[in-house]
Amino acid sequence: MIYQSKQLEEQAVLQTAAKMCAAARTAPKAHGRDTIHAFVLTGGEKEVLAEVMEKLGDELMGEKMPTWYGRDANNVRSANAVVLIGVKKEHRNVPYCGYCGFQNCISCENAGAKCAFAYIDLGVAVSSAVSTAAMDQIDCRIMFSIGNATVHLPFVEKNVIWLGIPLSISGKNIFFDRNIFHD
């Protein structure tokens, strides 16, 4: 039997994406509370994400959209898959914390502020995931723009903070030399 490189690369990307989701799940979490969400997009769902990114970029940036959201949407289209990792927006009730700038979680909630540990948990989970991609020699980039657009997808759980990680196998890393810079 002959296995073509393209077929094996597609398998490799999905295997790495699965391992990235596992790495995010097993990453350490504040106060032992697991509020991580993760999933992978390919094909038509990946294109829907790219379209939502461009629409959101138009709303936020107007004519400057191509310099950030448009550039990143093109990377999503060129990527083999996109891993999305999120964390539920909830307070952890860690005693004597104050990382959010408030005396306690009740003060933070009453002010409508966000729990700092949610962002810490997201950062640790995403870092664990991209280190997995690096060990598998899969090109990737952490993108806020993907996460910001993800909240607008109809099939995504609400009240979650997201970051996106497009994955690529190609002869040259698609996330460099993008020749578009934003202010």
pLDDT tens figures, 10-44: 999 999 999 999 999 999 988 788 999 999 999 99
Tens of pLDDT, residues 70-123: 999 999 999 999 999 999 998 888 878 888 999 988 889 899 998 999 999 999
Sign of CA dihedral 125, 45, 181, 63: negative
CB atoms within 10 A of CB 94: 17
Residue 139 in contact with residue 149, Cβ under 8 Å?
A: no
Nearest to 73 by CA among 44, 47, 40, 41: 47
User: Cα–Cα distances in Å, from 178 out to 27, 83, 85, 167?
Assistant: 31, 20, 24, 15
For residues 129 and 24, what is the distance between their CA atoms, to the nearest angstrom? 6
Are 117 and 44 in contact by the 8 Å Cβ rule? The answer is no
What domains are there in the chain, each with its CATH number? Answer: 7-91+118-168 (3.40.109.10)
Residue 57: the pLDDT is 92
Specify whether the CB–CB gap between 64 and 146 falls below 8 A: no
Q: How far apart are CA 66 and CA 74, in angstroms?
A: 9
d(CA 72, CA 52): 11
Considering only residues 36 and 175, tell me which one the structure prediction assigns the higher pLDDT.
36
User: How big is the chain, counted in residues?
Assistant: 183
Q: pTM, whole model, 2 decimals?
A: 0.91
- Name the nearest CA neighbour of 36 among 138, 105, 134, 120: 120
pLDDT at position 180 over 80: no
Q: How far apart are CA 75 and CA 52, in angstroms?
A: 14
Contact 50, 69 (CB under 8 A): no
Q: Which residues, in sequence order, are CB contacts of 67 under 8 Å at separation 6+?
A: 61, 180, 181, 182, 183
